[in-house]
Amino acid sequence: MNYSLEINHEKKYIHYRHSGTIVRQEIRQVWEQLILMPEFCRENYNLISDYQDARFAFSIKDKPIVDAFLEFLKDILKDKRNAVIVDGPNETLFSLMFENTANKKLNFNIKTFTTLESAINFLL
């Protein structure tokens, strides 16, 4: 896995960066790590998911699995913001699909961006 997690204590967000080809299981592993972080699960830090220069190696058929996982995390995700940064058409499509589901069903405010600056502004 080629990813990093950086905490910005001043602005209260976690910056998750992932590059290369990403399979669904890798994203799940990152989320399992995130929910163990006190900043994310107890201190209400928001999240930047930065997938610039990354490609998702999963399909639309995987969406119900991801939806179920997010539903399982519903109590942790409630009222949080997740700014997703993407730069590819497939990654944008997936982000927008999860944005719609999370906002309506989980009260987890996901927005899709193409720049880090816009993503940070959304979180503040």
Contact 21, 58 (CB under 8 A): no
Contact 37, 14 (CB under 8 A): yes
Domain around 38: 3-118
Is residue 26 included in any domain, yes or no?
yes
Token pair, residue 100, equals: 């719609």
Instruction: Give this prediction's pTM.
Output: 0.92
The total domain count for the chain is 1
Side chain identity at residue 98, one-letter code: F
Is residue 124 included in any domain, yes or no?
no
CATH number, position 28 = 3.30.750
Walk along the chain (124 residues) and give the pLDDT tens digit of each residue: 689 999 999 999 999 999 999 998 898 899 999 999 999 999 999 999 999 999 999 888 888 888 888 889 999 999 999 999 999 998 998 899 888 888 888 899 999 999 999 999 999 9
Instruction: State which H helix or E strand residue 113 sits in.
Output: strand 109-113
Token pair, residue 119, equals: 């993503």
Contact 65, 42 (CB under 8 A): no
Is residue 60 included in any domain, yes or no?
yes
Contact 71, 38 (CB under 8 A): no
